[in-house]
Structure 1
């Protein structure tokens, strides 16, 4: 089943052009409707020492800046969609708490696929998309575009990071529209000491057979950790070949555990070299 409703999250101007270009390319491929989503957010209220009284002039300046940014982003989105003759709609939402607000999640839950640009760690902003909120609260797959990408590229080679978890299964089946049109799909498992009761080779063979029955050009590969973390093994595999799309389940272990101690999801999100489809 192709993606018919694609929601593109347009957080800051630097990411908007890239996001709409990718969304437009996917919309044409899947004959989909694009929903542009932007949250107009005002940063934390500045205070005037020593009485800590909000400065109305500074507050108004921040509101004006956020509104101008929202207007510019909407204009860029509409212009691109109309130029490419793509069916679209615009959803602008005012928010004081960022992209984790309930109205935004309710909009996202009606889409087949969410698209966002990976936040640039060197350009931290309160207006940047909160990817984790969408992963945990929307119930929809999220396709992340590396911030280093400047123009769309076709998805020809796909790597599925398979560990047999329910999150990996959801991501794999959510990615089927991409998998069916790819030239090659590799089901890649990392054999670790804490692997499930079924070996990665066994579970990988089963999901590979299922994908082949869907008409996917899938094959199975398994790698040993060899003293490395799973994320390092996956990163090395991505570097070894020209992978266009990584498909993986997000936060298969406790999110709090990964927040404190790190984990495969957080590590790969920080060093993205390929488009990444995540689901949970």
Structure 2
């Protein structure tokens, strides 16, 4: 054994200047952990950009893209005297299925043009709610992606129903891609909205492949307790240390929203940092309460001009 393999002076064995720095990033691309990505397509404005964003991530990860084409089938009104299905409705079903088959072929050709491995799964929602079917299919993926229409409130409402269903019932993180955004993925800069809750913890962990690929990540704590800055920093030190162990370069920002919604503070911070992604926990106060009173999840879904990754 070569005795020179080991330094005689302990000071030579460690670079004391690097102990406080983030761990070196793994040689493998962190995005390869997204081996299966599902994108929900309900034929709404914003679907095209969602497919582009999801396809770009799948190509970068060398993974597989599952396009979940939702087909909401009309339901026949109950008729006690009807012995056979309405012929007009049967014909309508055939037309919808034929159209869906054509659209599936078009999307499959698009995946090939993007050099993305993937498939198109058409889900007929006849007896089940479409969002529940999308959630069940998304459970087989590492990440779900949904587009958000920007101009039509009715289309945005439909997209929100799919988003809420997938977020609450799939157990998967959901990346919402607003129509009209550049959807740069992975992001160069990201903002993580942090609170000491299971939802925020899950979101930070689920977003690790994206955060590890970013140049800088800003951890934002809104409405921190009225304590010295040192005490607040100590409360989030566990998160900062965890992220740094994964090679994430983090900054900490403490801010008070006053009378402004938390969502507005996060959006302002994302704009100030020129971030391309926001990461937050979703529906920490329950979906019905947020629907009735408003809340950070709903507001970020409708108002964010950049993609948002939610976890529940």
Q: Is the 8 A contact 2:222 2:256 kept in 1?
A: yes
3-state secondary structure, aligned to 1:228: coil
8 Å contact kept, 1:244–1:275: yes
SS in 1 for 2:48: helix
Instruction: Please tell me whether the aligned partners of residues 109 and 139 of structure 1 are also in contact (alpha carbons under 8 angstroms).
Output: yes
Are the structure 2 counterparts of residues 185 and 150 from structure 1 closer, same or farther at C-alpha, using a change threshold of 3 Å?
A: closer
Measure how far apart 1:145 and its partner are: 0.3
Matched, 1:229 2:261: yes
2:107 to 53, 71, 77: 77
Q: Find the counterpart in structure 2 of residue 124 from structure 1.
A: 154
> Which segment is superposed worse, 9-18 or 242-251?
9-18
Higher helix proportion: 2
Partner of 1:26: 57
Match of 1:99 among 125, 130, 153: 130
Match for residue 37 of structure 1?
68
Structure-2-length-normalised TM-score: 0.77
Q: Within 2, Cα distance between the matches of 1:194 and 1:107?
A: 44
Query: Considering only aligned residues, what root-mean-square deviation do their CA atoms show, in Å?
Result: 2.9
Q: 2 CA distance for matches of 1:216 and 1:193?
A: 26
Partners of 1:61 and 1:212 lie apart in 2 by: 59
User: Which residue number in structure 2 is paired with residue 171 of structure 1?
Assistant: 203
Q: Contact 1:112–1:140 (CA<8 Å) still a contact in 2?
A: yes
What is the deviation of 1:193? Answer: 6.5
Deviations 1:116-155 (A, max 9, x none): 1014461625974611010110000001100223665551
| 1:177 to partner: Cα distance | 0.4
SS of 1:124 mapped into structure 2:
helix
**Structure 1: distance between partners of 2:182 and 2:75:** 31
TM-score normalised per structure 1 = 0.85
Partner Cα distance (2:99, 2:187) in 1: 31
Q: Hey, what's the Cα distance between the residues in 2 that align with 1:13 and 1:270? A: 15
**Aligned residue number for residue 109 of structure 1:** 139
Q: In structure 2, do the counterparts of structure 1 residues 151 and 225 end up closer, same or farther at CA, with 3 Å as the change threshold?
A: closer
Quickly say closer, same or farther: Cα 1:127–1:226, change in 2 above 3 A.
closer
Question: For the residues of structure 2 that align with 1:63 and 1:40, how far apart are their CA atoms?
Answer: 10
Instruction: Tell me the matched-pair count.
Output: 270
Structure 2, unmatched stretches of 5+, are: 1-29, 79-84
Q: For residue 52 of structure 1, what is the aligned residue in structure 2?
A: none
Shift of residue 104, structure 1, vs aligned partner:
3.5
